[in-house]
Amino acid sequence: MNDQNYDALFLVSFGGPEGPDDVMPYLENVLRGKNVPRERMLEVGEHYNSFGGVSPINQQNRDLLEAIRAEFKQHNIDLPVYWGNRNWHPMIVDTMRQMKDDGIQKALAFFTNGYSCYSGCRQYRENIADAQASIGEGAPEVHKTRMFFNHPSYIEASVDRVRTAFDKIPQERRAETKFLFTAHSIPNSMADFCKYSTQLTESCRLIMESIGNEYDWELVYQSRSGPPQQPWLEPDVCDRITELKKEGNVNDIVMHPVGFVSDHMEVLYDLDTEAKDLCDELGINMERSLSVGVHPKFVTMIRELVQERIAGTERLAIGEMPANWDVCPQDCCLYKPQRRPAKA
Ligand SMILES: C=CC1=C(C)c2cc3[nH]c(cc4nc(cc5[nH]c(cc1n2)c(C)c5CCC(=O)O)C(CCC(=O)O)=C4C)c(C)c3C=C
Ligand SMILES: [Fe+2]
Ligand SMILES: [Fe+2]
């Protein structure tokens, strides 16, 4: 039993621009220290600008914040809930300064990511450590909740989302439907130091156990941002759709962004725009499943992750892998980005 005395929950997320003037400074924050060509940054900037420079991610986190507060109230959990981002306002350091001013000494953080990797785990822990260093004495101590890829309430929420999309496929074509699960591609050199793909595959397998083991499914990747010579996780979602068409056996695709918890710009552009346009061109019907968002079962899961830490309730996990660790080992999710070679 953990039985820790936390005095706040800290929702920690990625952040997104909320107007055209935010887009470039946001992308500079996202890409600091990463080996990504400037052309790719400008290209992604155009994706954001085509939606008025606003990513839905911040509003989705505001909605999640409200849903968590309501859930805590209903279950008599007396913890204030704060929110801070890595890349855009409200920034992690500013929220942690506010927490200090409010007298918060020890917070439990929930990262909006269920899968181990540098960006979704270690980098957030580094962001928090940097904030603590910058705030100095009295900065809140922060622990994190575990990765939730195999939590039964998360799987239940995901199954419900996938089933809703699947229900839109005409009955007589369902048996031949292809399920594509997408996640953010990462450099192989990042994937080598974490269980990102293994955990994603386990979530997909668990979701499909409920949908039906007779259906065909695959995990594919989206939103690749590296230089062409650097290997990233494959196959890319659009490349795979094209191949499937060539193989000649696909009329309907259910696509679920398993690697993301909200329908932010990378979902709206890379799936709903790019992948959808490709499917239309190839004569494939694509039904995109919503991410878990504020699904009641996802909010339940957040409450359960908090309760297991404050009250020592059971650490729920299903499938072939155990519940992930609460405290990351020292080498968890390491990543040393390859730099571009200096010009001679
Ligand atoms: C080296 C790895 C990565 C690069 C480069 C990268 C560029 C990049 N990402 C976004 C927008 C988003 N990324 C998000 C999540 C995310 N990104 C990476 C890795 C790289 N991204 C990973 C491993 C993940 C998943 C883990 C996580 O941090 O969440 C998200 C979603 C965040 C969320 O809370 O859901 C967005 C949005 C851009 C615009 C970009 C560069 C052009
Ligand atoms: Fe990313
Ligand atoms: Fe970790």
Per-residue pLDDT reduced to its tens digit, 34-56: 889 999 999 999 999 999 999 99
Binding residues for Fe(2+): 184, 266
- 123 CA → ligand 1 middle, Å: 11
Q: Is the shortest distance between the CB of 13 and ligand 1 below 6 Å? A: yes
Single out the residue of 150, 126, 115 nearest to residue 301, CA to CA. Answer: 150
Query: Which 3-state string (H, E, C) describes 28-74?
Result: HHHHCCCCCCHHHHHHHHHHHHCCCCECCHHHHHHHHHHHHHHHHHH
Q: Give residue 316 CA to ligand 1 midpoint distance, Å.
A: 27
> How many whole angstroms from 317 Cα to the centroid of ligand 2?
27
Index of the ligand 1 atom closest to the CA of residue 265: 37
The rounded Å distance from CA 50 to ligand 1 centre is 19
Environment class of residue 272 by beta-carbon count within 10 Å: exposed (0-12), middle (13-18) or buried (19+)?
middle
> Are 283 and 250 contacting, i.e. CB atoms less than 8 angstroms apart?
no
Q: Which tokens go with 147?
A: 């990765």
First to last CA, the chain: 58
**pLDDT of 219 strictly over 60:** yes
Bridge partner list, 219: 181
Average pLDDT of the residues in 76-97: 98
What architecture is the 152-288 domain classified under in CATH?
3-Layer(aba) Sandwich (3.40)
Instruction: Give the ligand at the shortest distance from the Cα of 40.
Output: 1
Sign of CA dihedral 119, 120, 125, 130: positive
Pocket test for ligand 1, best of 266, 269, 294 (most atoms within 8 A of CB): 266
Contact of 26 with 243, CB cutoff 8 Å: no
CB atoms within 5 A of ion ligand 3 belong to 121, 328, 332-333
Rounded distance, CA 312 to CA 251, Å?
48
**Which pairs with CB-CB distance under 8 Å and at least 24 residues apart come from 221-224?**
221/182, 221/183, 221/184, 221/185, 222/182, 222/183, 222/184, 222/185, 222/257, 222/266, 222/270, 222/271, 222/275, 223/184, 223/185, 223/266, 223/270, 224/185
Q: For residue 147, give the DSSP letter.
A: P
Sheet containing 141-144, strands listed edge to edge, beginning at the edge strand earlier in sequence? 81-85, 8-13, 106-111, 141-144
In this prediction, residue 330 has a pLDDT band, given cuts at 50, 70 and 90, of very high
**Phi, psi (deg, nearest 5) at residue 291:** -70, 170
3-state SS track over 80-134: CEEEEECCCCCEHHHHHHHHHHCCCCEEEEEECCCCCCHHHHHHHHHHHHHHHHH
Taking only Cα atoms into account, the Rg of the chain, rounded to an integer number of angstroms, comes to 20
Return the ligand 1 atom nearest residue 190 CA.
1
How far apart CA 216 and CA 208 sit, in angstroms, is: 9
* pLDDT level of residue 61 (50, 70, 90 thresholds): very high
Question: Within a 10 A sphere around the Cβ of 65, how many other Cβ atoms?
Answer: 17
For the cut 60, the answer to whether the pLDDT of residue 2 exceeds it is no
Pick from 222, 145, 216, 228: which is nearest to 179 by CA? 216
pLDDT in tens, 296-314: 999 999 999 999 999 999 9
Name the CATH code of domain 8-148+295-310 (choices 3.60.20.10, 1.10.3720.10, 3.40.50.1400, 3.90.180.10). Answer: 3.40.50.1400
Q: What is the mean pLDDT of residues 77-85?
A: 98
- Residue pair 151/313 in contact (Cβ under 8 Å)? The answer is no
140 pocket-lining for ligand 1 (C-beta < 6 Å): no
pLDDT at 218: 98
Specify the domain boundaries for CATH 3.40.50.1400 within the chain. Answer: 8-148+295-310, 152-288
What pTM was estimated for this model as a whole?
Answer: 0.95
Q: Which of 51, 62, 111, 223 is the pocket-test mutation for ligand 1 (most atoms within 8 Å of CB)?
A: 223
**Cα(121)–Cα(237) distance, rounded to whole angstroms?**
24
Q: How confident is the model at residue 97 (pLDDT cuts 50, 70, 90)?
A: very high
What is the best residue among 184, 199, 260, 338 to mutate for testing ligand 1's pocket, by most ligand atoms within 8 Å of CB?
184
Q: State the DSSP H helix or E strand holding residue 255, giving kind and residue range, or none if neither.
A: strand 252-256
Q: Please give the DSSP secondary-structure letter assigned to residue 169.
A: S
At 1 the pLDDT is: 41
